[in-house]
Amino acid sequence: MNEVKCECGHVNPHGTVLCEACGRVLDEKEKDRKLVDMRYEGSARRSQTYDKTIVDKIWNFFSSVKVGIWLIVITLIASALGTILPQEMYIPPNIPPEQYYLDEYGTFGKLYVEFGFHNLYGSWWYLILVASIGISLVICSLDRVIPLYRALKAQKVSRHEGFLKRQRLFGISTGANSNIDLEQIKINLRDKRYSIREEDGNLLAEKGRFSRWGPYVNHIGLIIFLLGAMLRFVPGMYVDKVLWIREGETKAIPGTNGQYYLSSDKFILEVYDKEKDKEVFSDALGKMGAVAKNYQSNVTLLEREGDAIPGEEPNLKKVKDYSIKVNEPLKYDNYALYQVDYKLDELDKMHFNLINKKSEESFGEIEIDLYNPKLKYELNKGYSVQLMNYFPDFEFDENGDPVTKSPVPNNPAFIFKMFTPDNPEGEVSFVAIQQTVEPFGDNEYKMAFAGIETKNVSALTVRKDLTLWVIGLGGAIFMIGVIQGAYWNHRRIWIQPKSGEVWIAGHTNKNWHGLKREINMVIKDTGIHEPIDQTQEQEKKIS
Amino acid sequence: MAEISSNLLYSAFIIYLVATLVFGGAIKDKKTEKEKKQSKWAVMGFGLTILGFAAQLGYFVTRWIASGHAPVSNLFEFTTFFGMMLVGAFIIIYSIYRTAALGVFTLPVAILVIAYGSMFPRDISPLIPALQSDWLHIHVTTAAAGQAILSVSFAAGLIFLVKAVDQTKSSKQTFWLETVMFGLICTLAFVIVSSVFSGLDYKESFNWVDKKGKEAVMEYSLPALAGPHKGELLEGNFEPIAEMPAIINAKKLNTVIWSIGGGLVLYGLLRLIFRKRVAALLRPLVKNINLDLVDEISYRSVLIGFPVFTLGALIFAMIWAQIAWTRFWGWDPKEVWALITFLFYAAFLHLRLSKGWHGEKSAWLAVIGFAIMMFNLVAVNLVLAGLHSYA
Amino acid sequence: MKKKQRLVIRTAILIILGAALAYSLYANLTKEKSEVLKLNAEAPDFVLTDMNGQKHKLSDYRGQGVFLNFWGTWCKPCEKEMPYMADQYKVYKDQGVQILAVNVGESEFAVQSFIDKHNLNFPVLIDAKDEVQSAYQVNPLPVTFLIDKEGKVVESITGSLTEEGVQKLMERIKP
């Protein structure tokens, strides 16, 4: 349908500008031009040739490089907007964003939230932008790579005169053509790793054609990358949980469906020491104060054996011991555990002495596990202490009653009943940190604070990301494609002897400087003159 | 060792300065564009550049040995390393194209970058846990190398613009070109002002009230034109001209004011003395330049630099982020600005495909690209808070 | 012929790309919802011990409705709905509705004091290792899951309930 038959006999698809085989200019408009436009070898880009149905219209929209560039530029600007203020994920989680941005950044912050810029990269419109780039990548590439492949495959050695003349590098060597040593040129070209085709005495030397596929390879890489990013939405592909674990604790690792457990042995924080670490650091350490050297959780990974439903005492088997450090996550079975945060010296146990206020005589010490206090603590000789109430994170509520804010013992308070032989009915005492209240009058005895035990807590991120290999594959293919396209170029040199003259034309998709130098080396001592750079000639005439 | 290291950096700096002047001589010397043989000046300039590069490499290696880690871990180290890579990229591109003017434009940019970096604390500091990884060397060096090669495209673009923009009448082009020059001059002013006051050991400190209403002490090393919120001068004797609201970081703003003010003075002086635009002043340096060739140098630098940048600033960055920060991408400002740089140069490469985006337009794009990278280096570290604020 | 083929191919590619975009958008918008337990699916089974040492296995209550409540002693809204649950339990216990109140891993002392203070008449279980909470993706408290006689999760309600609310919910899962 509407195919264009060139004078050389080759049948080209509709819309072809330069004949795929001989390079003859087919498009009337192009005929007046001094130089041919070699983009995509002058092949027919189908998108530009059909425009009937709505499908074609959408297709053509995404097939345009101009549209693609606009999409890139819009994404670029949008991305920049999101960096003006920190994104929602970087603000403290316990404050509503509206409030936080207003407090921190004033009216501008408030507007920022109203426009949704505080969660810009997760917004639907940003996703559509990125997806549109993906669609554009697919369609642009498809629309160009097929015709380009056809054109490069169909190219003949003997190109039409008009094609050669309209190349950017073109020259005619006349006169002493008996001196022109075509054999030497061929040897020179082969030395430069050109592959040479010959037809009726005409030469086509070509190298680096594979670099023409570079852009398409890198686009494929990007598409795979984007697919990998999309895969994250598929259930089961991605886990992102946080596990707070205290020294000595064993906990199910969230996100593993109860298959793995972790027990923490120790959390270690090291800071640089001016005296012990390298002397060169002493100036910096003197100015900066404490600088962290290491965050480390010594843990044991356990695996549940057999099936167990949640709550059932699991049968755990040790998998391995590991020291999780920043940059050294514990990896096992697609899961990785990262050191991300910590809390030092969280209260764990408290010690009290039961003493007589007057004589200050002690009748024994009790140890209260703040995570699992006992109801009653027996002491010798008929002394005992009953725990009537316990507030791990104590405060007074609006009615003035003691309550707890959270189950974490940040500020423990107790109501004790002390039983002594003197007071068999018991004396009630309210004990919080640095305060004691005796609600029913003066007591004879009191619970005297006798020390604390603390534990460190590690925060570990639990991560599973099954999309990583797709992302990695996409990235690798992208890099290969970019390098292929950027570090090699597709060079062609046509040499045609024509009745007492030798014509030479050269083309490259980039790096003309390199091609010119190479041609100079190839034609050295062969009698052919250096071809002229016709764009520069044009410019000179203009200026 | 640390002593040797800083001396080497200092010598490299001086050698670069001399090399620039020698390259300037090469331009004067060069008669015609067709002359195939390089002028003696150019050979000497190139030799000096390599010498300077070797000296700076010496600084880099000795500092690495002294600290036990690659010196790319804070703003001073990274910026000077970026300057070194810029010289390295220039050496590569120059050995392909042999254009002396490229030296006259690239080296001053590199010198300015190194001088700028030297204004930040220069102590050798130990690595925090997040940075203790071989990926520090791999990621940072490749990213810096990529940015440096892309920056050569800026230098080439600048040469193009200085030559191509018509200086006989005032236009949008002359305005923006002067803006670029002014930006470079402001950096110079920042370096001069900071050096002078740190040479004088100047200090001021204030009691001030932050946005949460807490009292704190703020130290200035430049006279405070812009004072902190409810600031009370403790030390020093220069009362601020204006007081800033608590939301603004008055100290950083003060530095910006000094830089721009200093830049205005320098720029004004240049205009007064020479009665010409600064770009017009530079014109004789590029009179022998073949526009087509600089355009190609600019494009070629982007082609060479883009894959390196992508590898270092995105791919290696993602691999390391997955190891250190649990996820390969987290929309941290530095990450986003690396993506923006990537997108920008991707757009640049696609625009080269369409007609009309060669030559001058392409040169402007190279300038914008450099501006984006400098924004990422300067503003993202100092202004936008994020995970990369190591300085 | 060729034209038709082209149209078909283009349409197919556009549909695939469009579907991928639509899926991503949908998944992105429902990201938060996917973090919670799926409704109308089988309720994850569990075994926990109550304060009297008796084991309660969820699947043993097949045939009855289960009112599964997660709570903490420090949590004010949890405390508020407890008496309503206790009241309604008196009515619905004999109609085949079972309340299981799962504490989110506090000490026995704290839980027992709480039971005594509020005279709770239903089994209170302690999820000491966070396993059940993790299986039910419990985040803010209180949260109540309604499980019907087939063992399916009918609904989940986050936040404090009124007495009337508790009654309505029990009515729903009454076998």
Minimum mean pLDDT among A176-180, A224-228, A385-389, C44-48: which range? A176-180
Average pLDDT over residues C25-36: 77
pLDDT at C156 over 60: yes
Considering chain A, what is the average pLDDT of its residues?
A: 88
Q: Which residue of A has its CA nearest to B67?
A: A280
Please give the sequence-ordered ranges of beta strands (E in DSSP) within A420-487, or none if there are none: 427-432, 435-437, 445-465
- Rounded Cα distance, B310 and B305, in Å: 8
Q: What is the mean pLDDT of residues B62-87?
A: 93
- Name which of C14, C105, C108 is nearest A58 (Cβ-Cβ): C14
A37/B315 Cβ within 8 A: no
Confidence of residue A49 (pLDDT cuts 50, 70, 90): low
- Contact residues on chain A for B324, CB-CB shorter than 8 A: 326-327
Q: Is the peptide bond before B307 cis (omega within 30 degrees of 0)?
A: no
Is residue B64 predicted with pLDDT exceeding 90? yes
Taking phi first (over 0 means left), then psi (-120 to 50 degrees means alpha), and beta for anything else, what does residue A31 get?
alpha
Question: Which residue on chain A is closest to B375 by alpha carbon?
Answer: A80
Report the run of H or E that residue C100 belongs to, with start and end: strand C97-103
Burial C150-169 (b: 16+ CB within 10 A, else e): ebebbebeeebbeeebbbeb
Q: What is the DSSP string of A150-207?
A: HHHHH--SS--HHHHHTSSEEEEE-S-GGG--HHHHHHHHHHTT-EEEEETTEEEEEE
Establish if A143 touches chain B: CB-CB under 8 angstroms.
Answer: no
Structure tokens at A213: 């596929």
Cβ–Cβ gap C132/A135 under 8 Å:
no
pLDDT digits (tens, 9 = 90+) for B294-344: 999 999 999 999 999 999 999 999 999 999 999 999 998 899 999 999 999
Residue with tokens 């980039």: A510
Asked if A144 contacts A45 with a C-beta cutoff of 8 angstroms, the reply is yes
Using CA coordinates, name the residue in chain A closest to C30. A233
Q: Within the 321-340 window of chain A, which residues sit less than 8 Å (CB to CB) from chain B?
A: 325-327, 329, 336, 338, 340
- Answer yes or no: is B240 within a domain: no
Q: What's the average model confidence in pLDDT over A205-211?
A: 94
Nearest-10 Cα torsion for C20, C24, C27, C29 = -140
**pLDDT value at position A434?**
79
Instruction: Identify all chain B residues contacting A280, using CB atoms and an 8 Å cutoff.
Output: 1-2, 66-67, 124
Report phi then psi at A455, rounded to 5. Answer: -135, 150
DSSP annotation of B384? S
Residue B345 CA: distances (Å) to CA of A38, A216, A362: 23, 17, 78
Name, in order, each residue with C-beta under 8 angstroms of A379's C-beta and a sequence gap of 6 or more. A354, A363, A364, A366, A385
Cβ–Cβ pairs < 8 A, chains A and B? 148
Looking at residue B389, its pLDDT comes to 55
d(Cα B58, Cα B46) in Å, to the nearest integer? Answer: 18
Nearest Cα to C154, choosing from C166, C142, C163, C144? C144
Of A46, A1, A37, give the one whose Cα is nearest residue A18: A37
Residue B387 has pLDDT above 60, yes or no: no
CB B55 within 8 A of CB B8: yes
Nearest-neighbour CA in chain A from B274: distance (Å): 28
Which of A279-283, A413-417, C29-33 has the weakest average pLDDT?
C29-33
Count how many pairs of residues, chain A against chain C, have C-beta atoms within 8 Å: 112
Is residue B149 in some structural domain?
yes
Name the class of domain A167-209+491-542.
alpha beta
Torsion of CA A317, A319, A321, A327, to 10 degrees: -140
Chain A interface includes C112 (CB < 8 A): yes
**What is residue B33's predicted lDDT score, i.e. its pLDDT?**
47
* Minimal CA separation from A216 to chain C, in Å: 17
The angle at the Cα of A529, spanning A525 to A534, to the nearest 5 degrees, equals: 145
Confidence of residue B34 (pLDDT cuts 50, 70, 90): very low
Q: Domain coordinates of chain A in residue numbers? A: 42-152, 167-209+491-542, 238-344+459-465, 350-450
What pLDDT, on a 0 to 100 scale, did the predictor assign at position B391? 42
C163-171: average pLDDT: 87
Does residue B81 register a pLDDT over 90?
Answer: yes
Asked if the structure places residue B100 within a domain, the reply is: yes
- Environment class of B214 (CB within 10 Å of its CB; exposed 0-12, middle 13-18, buried 19+): exposed
Helices (H) and strands (E) in chain B, counts: 12, 5
Compute CA distances B62 → B127, B145, B162, whole Å. 17, 20, 39
Q: Which two tokens stand for residue B170?
A: 């005032």
Q: Among A37-51, A493-507, B306-320, C69-83, name the one with the lowest average pLDDT.
A: A37-51
Pick the closest to residue C107 from C95, C119, C115, C117 (CA basis): C115
Chain A positions in Cβ-Cβ contact with residue B303 (cut-off 8 Å): 486-487, 510-511
* pLDDT at residue B384, as a whole number: 66
Q: Which of A484-493, A497-506, C86-95 has the highest mean pLDDT?
A: A484-493
* Interface contact flag, A55 C108, Cβ < 8 Å: no
- Number of neighbours of residue A244 by Cβ within 10 angstroms: 16
Give every CB contact of residue A33 below 8 A, 6+ residues apart in sequence. Answer: A166
The pLDDT of residue A289 is: 78
User: Are C28 and A122 a contacting pair at CB < 8 A?
Assistant: yes
pLDDT at A445 over 90: no
DSSP state, A210? G
Q: Nearest by CB to B128, from A69, A283, A291: name it.
A: A291
User: What phi and psi values does residue B124 have, to the nearest 5 degrees?
Assistant: -80, 115
Q: A311 vs C48: CB contact, 8 Å cut-off?
A: yes
Report the gap between the CA of A377 and the closest CA in chain B (Å). Answer: 45
Nearest Cα to Cα of residue C130 among A266, B331, A255, B76: A255
Whether the CB of A133 is below 8 Å from some CB of chain B: the reply is no
* Partner C, chain A 208-227, Cβ-Cβ below 8 Å: 227
Q: How confident is the model at residue A177 (pLDDT cuts 50, 70, 90)?
A: low
Segments of A64-139 assigned E as strands? none
Chains B and C touch (3+ CB pairs under 8 A): no
**CB < 8 Å from A in window 150-179 of B:** none
Which bin fits A169, alpha (ψ -120 to 50), beta or left (φ > 0)?
Answer: beta
C-beta atoms of A291 and B384 within 8 A: no
A407 interaction partners in chain C (CB closer than 8 Å): 72-74, 104-106, 110
Q: Which domain holds residue B117?
A: 2-167+284-337
Among the partner-chain residues B68, B123, B128, the one whose CB lies closest to the CB of A292 is: B128
CA–CA separation, A135 and B240 (whole Å): 56
Residue A45's pLDDT band (boundaries 50, 70, 90)? low
N-to-C CA span, chain A: 46
SS3 A258: coil
The helix (run of H) or strand (run of E) holding residue A344 is: strand A335-356
The β-bridge partners of A302 are: A261, A318
Indicate whether A319 pLDDT > 90.
yes
Q: How many CA atoms does the CB half-sphere of A230 hold within 13 Å?
A: 21
The percent of residues in chain A predicted with pLDDT above 70, rounded, is 96
The pLDDT tens digits for B233-273 are 887 777 888 888 877 788 888 888 999 999 999 999 999 99
d(C-alpha A165, C-alpha A23), whole Å: 11
Q: Compute the distance between CA of residue A32 and CA of residue A35 in angstroms, rounded to an integer.
A: 9
Determine, for residues C130 and A393 on separate chains, whether the beta-carbon distance falls below 8 Å. no
Closest CA to A353 of A431, A454, A410, A422: A431
Number of domains observed in the structure of chain B: 1
pLDDT of residue A541: 59
Helices (H), C42-129: 76-92, 108-118
State whether the Cα torsion B114-B120-B126-B128 is positive or negative. negative
Task: Give me the phi and psi of A346, to 5 degrees please.
Answer: -75, 140
> Of B135, B155, B161, B25, whose CA–CA distance to B89 is shortest?
B155
